[in-house]
A = this chain, B = another copy of it.
Amino acid sequence: MNDPDAAPPSLTGLSTYLLSRTGKAARAALAERLAVRGLRLWHMAVLAALADFGPHAQRDLASRLGVDPSDMAKVVDQLASAGRVERVRDPADRRRLTVTATEEGRAALAELDAEARAVQDALLAPLTAAEREQLHALLLRVHLALPGNAG
């Protein structure tokens, strides 16, 4: 109770503080795992978007994930170099690059997802399965209400 390293109740009484703290921990843990494979969180996000919604024009990828198109170009470039993504010029509009996940990319995403779930299991260890679902449902509603996340 008198732990000299305990966080101030003034802060732990704020859900936003807890959100920020636990979120950062989650992010850091996953990023660390991905770094082992030479990947970053954006790489996973791009692979996920392609897997879920199919091929995208690069610009649409950027828009969907809320990244600067210039930064997206770099991420896609790295994924392409690693063979996890294919870029082909759209014949209908030769300015566009259509980005598609390769078989290798889909396999990589599956592994990444497994890593993410492992991290999540560790983070949410103190909660029961039912509580985790509760938490997820609540967070999802908050997330959807965030600006730029219309369902």
Which residues from chain A sit less than 8 Å from chain B, CB to CB? 1, 3-12, 14-27, 29-30, 44-45, 48-49, 51-53, 60, 63-66, 109, 113, 116-117, 119-120, 123-127, 131-132, 134-136, 138-146, 148-151
Contact = CB atoms under 8 A, between A and B. Distances in A.
Given A21-B146, A135-B135, 10 more contacts: A5-B64, A5-B148, A5-B149, A8-B45, A9-B52, A16-B120, A18-B142, A23-B26, A24-B27, A127-B138
Count of this chain's copies in the oligomeric assembly? 2
Given A15-B132, A19-B23, A49 B139 contact: no
Nearest to A52: B8
Contact of A116 (B14, B53, B64, B143): B14
